[in-house]
């Protein structure tokens, strides 16, 4: 991991911390998205009783590198992620993959982050860089993955990330 971040308010960007604590079944302690039920404002408006499949947002630092090469300046936490990774192809993971973060924490991947127009408020033109279409016309989301906390624990930059794939057949990630 290269960074860990959180925000107690519903801000677009999150603030880097020396450590964050993941709480089983809830999310990131002190983060606005902490809870058993949905916390994302648009989803709360639709149905506040739905389960929170977006307790933790993980984003690969390699995307920051790509965006920088295209003229965007994006630092860890600024796209709203709680955990910034390096060396793990997050969007290629299947539903149910387990990410072992640090000594104790485990996050189960639930799906892809579906970025909205707020991302262009952060930096104009950024939405088109993180959502697009592949050569077959299929929608491709590159703004990280979402997950739920299966086992809690403290997570710090520099901690190792282990990946455990679920049994076959694997289901590809879709937006959550």
pLDDT number for residue 143: 93
Sign of CA dihedral 54, 144, 138, 173: negative
Q: Rounded to an integer, what distance in angstroms lies between the CA atom of residue 24 and that of residue 21?
A: 10
β-strand partners of 139: 133
pLDDT for 40:
82
Domain coordinates in residue numbering, the chain: 3-164
From 54, 51, 23, 56, select the one nearest 37 (Cα to Cα): 51
pLDDT of residue 78: 96
Global confidence as pTM: 0.95
Q: Count CA within 13 A, CB hemisphere, residue 76.
A: 19
- Give the per-residue pLDDT at 25: 98
Under a CB-based contact definition with an 8 Å cutoff, are residues 74 and 144 in contact?
Answer: no
| Phi, psi values for residue 27, rounded to 5° | 125, -145
- State residue 164's pLDDT score: 98
Question: If DSSP codes are grouped into helix, strand and coil, which group holds residue 63?
Answer: helix
Q: Domain 3-164 is in which class? A: mainly beta
Residue 142, token pair as written in the block: 């590159």
Q: What pLDDT score does 154 carry?
A: 98
In this predicted structure, what is the pLDDT of residue 1? Answer: 93
pLDDT in tens, the chain (176 residues): 999 999 999 999 999 999 999 999 999 999 999 999 998 878 888 898 999 999 999 999 999 999 999 999 999 999 999 999 999 999 999 999 999 999 999 999 999 998 888 899 999 999 999 999 999 999 899 999 999 999 999 999 999 999 999 999 999 999 99
pLDDT tens-digit series, residues 33-56: 999 999 887 888 889 899 999 999
Q: Is 84 exposed, middle or buried (0-12, 13-18, 19+ CB in 10 A)?
A: buried
């Amino acid at each position: 991991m290269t960074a860990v971040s959180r925000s107690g308010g519903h801000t677009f960007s999150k603030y880097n911390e020396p450590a964050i604590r993941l709480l089983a079944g809830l999310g990131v302690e002190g983060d606005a998205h902490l809870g058993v039920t949905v916390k994302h404002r648009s989803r709360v408006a639709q149905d506040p009783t739905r389960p929170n499949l977006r307790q933790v947002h993980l984003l690969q630092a390699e995307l920051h590198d790509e965006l920088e090469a295209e003229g965007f300046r994006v630092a860890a936490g600024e796209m709203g992620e709680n955990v910034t990774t390096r060396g793990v192809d997050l969007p290629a993971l299947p539903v149910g993959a387990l990410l072992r973060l640090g000594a104790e924490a485990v996050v189960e991947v639930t799906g892809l982050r579906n970025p909205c127009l707020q991302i262009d408020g952060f930096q104009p033109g950024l939405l088109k860089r993180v959502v697009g279409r592949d050569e077959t016309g299929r929608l491709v989301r590159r703004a990280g993955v979402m997950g739920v906390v299966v086992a809690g624990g403290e997570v710090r930059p520099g901690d190792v990330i282990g990946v455990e794939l679920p049994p076959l057949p694997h289901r590809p990630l879709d937006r959550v």
